[in-house]
Structure 1
Amino acid sequence: MARDPETIEREIEQARTALAATLDQLGTKANPQKLADQAKNGIRAKLDDPKVKYPLIGVGALILALLVRKLFR
């Protein structure tokens, strides 16, 4: 059963519109700047957690103390 050309053209246009919307969404989600900002915000949030923050400060202080000790030895 043959389909009417106008119906086929309308379906093609609908498919194009849907594809364009999908590509726009993917472009927004895959924006490198947005991904970098999300990663940076995630790391900041993790570093603000006291369970991570204070051990890192302790390790940094230990490394600094060892470096100072080695320099003045």
Structure 2
Amino acid sequence: MVSGASSGSNQPGYSRVRVISCIDSEKSSILEDDQIPGGTKLLEKLQGKISIEERVMIAASEAVRAAMSSLLMKS
């Protein structure tokens, strides 16, 4: 699964790659970027670098907050 929060912002893109096993009979687990073969390279390609600046995290969290607020208002 690849997810991101970007576009429409003056901040660089923020992306994350997560692999989640979803087998009902087993406990699911989440692999970190460095545990996924090629995950770090993919992450670097998606967002330009591996490290995330605080201002990018703030912009991404604000985008998530706005999206959740919009969804709650529609309910």
> How does the TM-score come out when normalised to structure 1?
0.32
Which structure carries more relative contact order (alpha carbon 8 Å, separation 6+)?
2
Q: Which of the pair is proportionally richer in strand?
A: 2
> How does the TM-score come out when normalised to structure 2?
0.31
Q: Which of the pair is proportionally richer in helix?
A: 1
Larger Rg: 1
